[in-house]
Amino acid sequence: MKPLDLASGDLLADRRADYAEMLFASGEHAAAGEVLLGALELAPGWALGWFRLGEMRSEAGAFEAAAKAWRMSLELDPDDRAGATLKLELIGAAPVSDAPPSPFVEALFDHYAPTFETALVQKLDYRVPELLETAIRIARSEFGPCADLGCGTGLMGERLRPMVARLDGYDISRAMLKKAASKNIYDSLTKADLQTLELPRASLDLVTAADVFMYVGALDDLVPKVAAALYPSGVFAFSVEHHRGEANFMLLPSRRYAHSEIHLRALLAGSGFTLHSLENADIRKDRGEPIEGLIGVAIKQ
């Protein structure tokens, strides 16, 4: 996927955008937006600039103006690689959708890939792979073929490899898959969007989704697909960010989704799983604060 242009291509506009960022960093959000708007008058076709203007206006409390900027970003980039749709949903300017735009997820992780492991493990205290490995081993320690959904750079795969006879990874980001391939732990790696992924029926003994569902949204289609792909008594291991409200899932300000425990239990049972374990855990940090998640292991009936 072609990345969004980080700069406008107009030298004067880029200088004004840099000054806007300095103002924004100092807390002058409204002034920053005004300066960036001036830059966009020089480079009106800069989609990422309009997206950033929306963020600045939103921080200044000008939500209607922010929505206009995000809609302009969408007009210039209908694929929505910046994720303007989610921003509109968060301020109530668009109905909440069941899933994020796939090009946004792909662009996010293509951009994140070079620093992914350093940022996630060393800076954000990311714990999902170790927590999932422990939960899986309590259920069973040896498996046949395994699918690692949203495999990323292979952090989960490194822990799965000693347990499984075959390991196949799936991810939407080519840059992430390239990082995973360098580890030589997967038997195959496939670029795939989990929203449309089809797995062969009754072909797997273990399916994992480590830190993946927060970028999927509604799970009503995906969980039954996982169940259909597993052998009888096969294992499904996953993590989610946890919310305690009444909604099945909700979009967070981070533009990730959190899921309710009640909904997960009902969805798993309705898809033919017996829940082996579902435990609360701090799965990472965000801005220094722990993020509560659920670590789940379910058995195909």
Q: For 60-116, how does the pLDDT look when each residue is reduced to its tens digit (9 = 90+)?
A: 999 999 999 999 999 999 999 999 999 999 999 999 899 999 999 999 999 988 888
114-to-146, 157, 167, 173, 209 alpha-carbon distances in Å: 26, 18, 23, 12, 21
> CA angle, corner 148, sides to 130 and 168, nearest 5?
130
* C-alpha to C-alpha distance for 113 and 100, rounded to whole angstroms: 19
Comparison of pLDDT for 21 and 245, the residue scoring more:
21
With contact defined as beta carbons under 8 Å apart, do 233 and 300 qualify? yes
Residues 267-276: tens digit of each pLDDT:
999 999 999 9
Stretch 149-165: mean pLDDT: 97
Mean pLDDT calculated for residue range 273-287: 93
Q: In this predicted structure, what is the pLDDT of residue 26?
A: 96
Q: Which of 47-51, 174-178, 244-248 has the lowest mean pLDDT?
A: 244-248
Q: What is the dihedral of CA 225, 231, 235, 241, to 10 degrees?
A: 0
Q: What is the pLDDT of residues 209-228, one digit of tens each?
A: 999 999 999 999 999 999 99
**pLDDT the model gives residue 3:** 65
Mean pLDDT for 245-251 is 93
Model confidence at 6: pLDDT above 90: no
d(CA 288, CA 283): 13
The pLDDT value given to residue 7: 87
The answer to whether the CB of 208 falls within 8 A of the CB of 148 is yes
**CA proximity to 46, closest of 86, 85, 90, 16:** 16
For the segment 280-297, the average pLDDT, to the nearest whole number, is 92
What is the second-level CATH architecture of the domain 11-95? Alpha Horseshoe (1.25)
Distance CA(100)–CA(194), nearest Å, equals 11
Residues in the chain: 301
Give pLDDT, residue 76.
97
Q: For residue 157, give the H/E element and its range.
A: helix 155-160
By the 10 Å C-beta count (0-12 exposed, 13-18 middle, 19+ buried), 92 is classed as exposed
Q: What is the pLDDT of residue 285?
A: 85
C-alpha distance across the termini of the chain, in Å: 40
CA dist., res. 4 & res. 12, Å (int): 19
Q: Does domain 114-300 have CATH number 3.60.15.10?
A: no
How confident is the model at residue 1, as a pLDDT? 59
Sign of CA dihedral 119, 123, 124, 126: positive
Task: Say what the pLDDT of residue 122 is.
Answer: 73
Over pLDDT 90: what percentage of the chain?
Answer: 89
Q: What is the pLDDT of residues 112-155, one digit of tens each?
A: 888 888 877 777 889 999 999 999 999 999 999 999 999 999 99
Q: What is the per-residue pLDDT for 2?
A: 64
Whether pTM exceeds 0.85: yes
Mean pLDDT across the chain: 95
The predicted structure's pLDDT at residue 124: 81
| Topology alike, domains 11-95 and 114-300 | no
